[in-house]
Amino acid sequence: MTDSTAPPVELSGPEGAALARELMRRMQRVRQFEEATIALFHAGELPAMVHLSIGQEAAVVGACLATETSDYMTGNHRSHGHPIAKGAGLGALMAELLGKATGVCGGKGGSMHLADFSVGSLGESGIVGSAIPVATGAALAAQVRGSGQVALCFFGDGAASEGVLHESMNMAGIWDLPVIYFCENNGYAVSVTAEESLSVPDVAMRAAGYGMPGVVVDGQDVLAVYRATRDAVTRARAGDGPSLVEAKTYRFHEHAYGLVVPQPYRDKSVVDSWFDTVDPITLFHHQVLEWGVLTADDLQQLNDEVKSEVDAAVEFARESPFPPLEAAYADIYAPSEVTA
C-alpha cells in the first residue's frame, strides 16, 4: 500500500523541493504579472486589451519547465504566460505591454507579440496558428544542425482546426522532427465551444493520423503536465520524432480582458467557482503542503519575492521612455544597402 501523503518521486529530496519551488514560482510569476496588467488596464495605463493566462498557469509552466533554456518555444495571442514560464525577465515584458522602448520588441509588439530569444522564445502572434510552422521550422533547423534542441509549440483548441497545424504535423511526422505540439484546450475559441468546432472529443486523437503519440493531461495539475511534456521532450531529443500533448484547462477570464460579450456563453456561477475548485496555484499549494515538500513559510516567502519582482517590473515599465519617432521603421525593413 502506498502512502498518499508521500511526495511523488519527482518532488522527493532536496532536488524535488527545488523543482516544486520553481513550478510554484513560475506559476506565481505568470499570475501576479497578469494581475498587475489588470490593474494597469483599469488605471488607463495599458494601451489595449490583454489576453490573460489566468487559470492556465499549470499548462504553460509545466510544459516549459520540462524544456531547457536553449530549447525553442512559440506561443499564441494569449502570450504573457509562455515567455514568463520559459524564464523571461519581467521588466522588458511589462515595458512591451506599455509600448515602451525598453520592451522586448522595442514597444512595437505589445501584448500579443512578445519574443525573448534569450530564453528561446521565438515569438507569438495574434494570427491564430501562425507560430505553428515557426516552431516546426525551428525543429527542422535543430535537426539539420544536430544541436539537440527541441521546439515546444503552443496553440489553442481554436487553432486545432487551422490547416497549418495539420500541414506542420504531417511534415514533422514524416521527418521525425524534434517538436512538441502542445494544445491548451480551454474549451472556447472566443465564444465557440470546442464541442462545436472539433470533430473528435480530444485534439490528441488527431496525432495518430500523423504517426505520432498523442496524450491528454489534466491542465490544472502542473506536475502531470510536467511529466507528460518531459516524456515528449525526451522522445524528441532522442530522435524519435514529434508528439502532441493536449492539456484540458480553464480560461478564468474572457477571451480578452475588457472584451464586452453581448450574449453570455458561460454560466457565471460556474466560472466564479473555478477559483475555488480548479485554480492550479491553489491546487499545487495544497499538494506541496500535504506532501511536506514546502512549508507555509516557504510559500509565503516565494509569494513575497514574486510580488517584489512584479512591482519592480511595473515601475521599470512606467519609468521607461516611449520609442522616438525616428525609430518607427527600424527593424521593419531590411537595410537597402547591398554588399558584395
Does residue 81 form part of some domain? yes
pLDDT at 157: 95
The full DSSP string for 217-274 is EETT-HHHHHHHHHHHHHHHHTT---EEEEEE----S-SSBT---SS--S-HHHHHHH
Number of neighbours of residue 324 by Cβ within 10 angstroms: 9
Residue 52, SS3 per DSSP: coil
Supply the pTM of this predicted model: 0.94
Query: How do residues 73-115 score in pLDDT, each as one tens digit?
Result: 999 999 999 999 999 999 999 999 999 999 999 999 999 999 9
Does residue 124 form part of some domain? yes
pLDDT at 330: 84
Residue reference for cell 487559470: 55
Does residue 189 form part of some domain? yes
Does residue 20 form part of some domain? yes
Does residue 334 form part of some domain? no
Helix ranges (H only) for the chain are: 13-42, 57-64, 81-85, 90-97, 132-145, 163-175, 194-197, 222-237, 268-277, 280-291, 296-319
Domain total for the chain?
1
Does residue 337 form part of some domain? no
Separation in Å, CA 159 to CA 79, 173, 182, 196, 339: 14, 19, 11, 14, 41
What is the span of the domain harbouring residue 300?
Answer: 9-258+268-327
Q: Assign residue 62 the CATH number of its domain.
A: 3.40.50.970
Are 107 and 55 within 8 A, CB to CB? Answer: no
Comparing 235 with 267, which gets the higher pLDDT? 235
Query: How do residues 195-250 score in pLDDT, each as one tens digit?
Result: 999 999 999 999 999 999 999 999 999 999 999 999 999 999 999 999 999 999 99
Query: How do residues 151-186 score in pLDDT, each as one tens digit?
Result: 999 999 999 999 999 999 999 999 999 999 999 999
Does residue 263 form part of some domain? no
